[in-house]
Amino acid sequence: MDTRYLRAFVAVADHGGISAAAKELGYAQSSVSAQLKRLEADLGVTVLVRAGTGATLTEAGRRVLPHAREALELAERMRRAALGDRPRLRIGAQESLAHAWMPDVLAAYEYGAGGPGVVARVELTVGRRSHLDQAFAAREVDLVFQYDNGLRALGPHAVVGHDRTLLVASPFHPLARQESVTPGQLLGQEFMVVEPSCTSQMLVDRLGRDLLAGIRQTLITGSLAALLRLAGHGRGVTLLPELSVARELAAGELVALRLADPIRPVSIIAQWHPRLGLAEQALHTLLDVARRADPLPQRPHPARAC
């Protein structure tokens, strides 16, 4: 199938209309419309519903879209292989991992820590769990690193590392002066979160459902840095992986509250798409480098986190 038809279809799906897709692709609007009609003729189904305000995918179009993305990515890998270029490996990572651990892993990978072999050209996307899940499902990324939260991996996946989960606050917070903090002492405290459902699950898993009913959550949407600054100024407490707060702990801007019942370590999960062509070897090399950079190499018992 002509990749021009697929590219036009994906552009319309991404930009919400034929006019916007034509502008993005640098084609005349009539050319994009003609390519879409040829695609529908080849498939024997209607993939778009056209309207004056844009275009929406039909049910068939929604089924076709991930395969169209995969076909375009395959065509791009074939082109790079023919030219002798390094394969491309598109990686997604949660901000809490990209804050400290991921840059070290990628630097080691680029400097050849995985040994001789193909080193891919890496593109890194950092985002919230929901954004990464959508990007992975749409095949916009090849490999995702996330903290485990009962992840239902539909394809290849593996544990590549572990981390601690810490309850942190400003050193001036009243609970910071306690020798030991019980779940009951946390009732009524303000918890700051970046991803509400994710943090709520962590609180239930580690501190009990009764606590979750008695706390106040403040959402700091999309910015781990803002959350850390607010916590440092005494706004409230927050539950985070140690990697994401290591610098602030070392600088004394935050302290880890001493809980009566210690929180178990958590797993770092890698999930990837199969059949990545030349990038497959590079992917497994990167996974090996990530395993050797495990922040907690003693392999703790599995636990769920974000």
Say yes or no: do domains 86-163+266-292 and 165-256 share a fold.
Answer: yes
Cβ proximity of 143 and 286 under 8 Å:
yes
pLDDT at 278 over 90: no
User: What's the CA angle centered on 49, arms 46 and 52, to 5 degrees?
Assistant: 150
Reported as half-sphere exposure (CB side, CA atoms, 13 A), residue 6 has a value of 16
- In this prediction, residue 306 carries a pLDDT of 45
Residue 85: pLDDT band (50, 70, 90) is low
d(CA 127, CA 251): 26
Residue type at 199 in one-letter notation: T
Boundaries of every domain in the chain: 3-82, 86-163+266-292, 165-256
Cβ proximity of 240 and 266 under 8 Å:
no
- In this prediction, residue 305 carries a pLDDT of 42
- In this prediction, residue 237 carries a pLDDT of 86
What homologous superfamily is domain 86-163+266-292 in, according to CATH?
A: Periplasmic binding protein-like II (3.40.190.10)
Which CATH number describes the domain made up of 3-82? 1.10.10.10
The CATH architecture of the domain made up of 165-256 is 3-Layer(aba) Sandwich (3.40)
Residue 213: pLDDT band (50, 70, 90) is low
247-265: pLDDT as tens digits:
899 999 999 988 877 777 8
Residue 189: pLDDT band (50, 70, 90) is confident
DSSP secondary structure of the chain: --HHHHHHHHHHHHHSSHHHHHHHHT--HHHHHHHHHHHHHHHTS--EEEETTEEEE-HHHHHHHHHHHHHHHHHHHHHHHHHTPPPEEEEEEEHHHHTTHHHHHHHHHHTTTT-SS---EEEEEEE-HHHHHHHHHTTS-SEEEEE-SS---SS-EEEEEEE-EEEEE-TTSGGGG-SSB-GGGGTTPEEEESSHHHHHHHHHHHH-HHHHHH-EEEE-TT-HHHHHHHHHTTS-BEEEEHHHHHHHHHHTSSEE--BSSPPPPEEEEEEE-S--TTHHHHHHHHHHHHHHT-S-TT-PPP----
User: What are 192's strand-pairing partners?
Assistant: 218
- In this prediction, residue 255 carries a pLDDT of 92
Percent of the chain at pLDDT > 90 equals 17
Residue 303: pLDDT band (50, 70, 90) is very low
Residue with tokens 């400097």: 111
Listed ranges 48-57, 61-70, 201-210; the one with the highest mean pLDDT: 61-70
Q: Which is more confidently placed, 164 or 219? A: 164
- In this prediction, residue 90 carries a pLDDT of 92
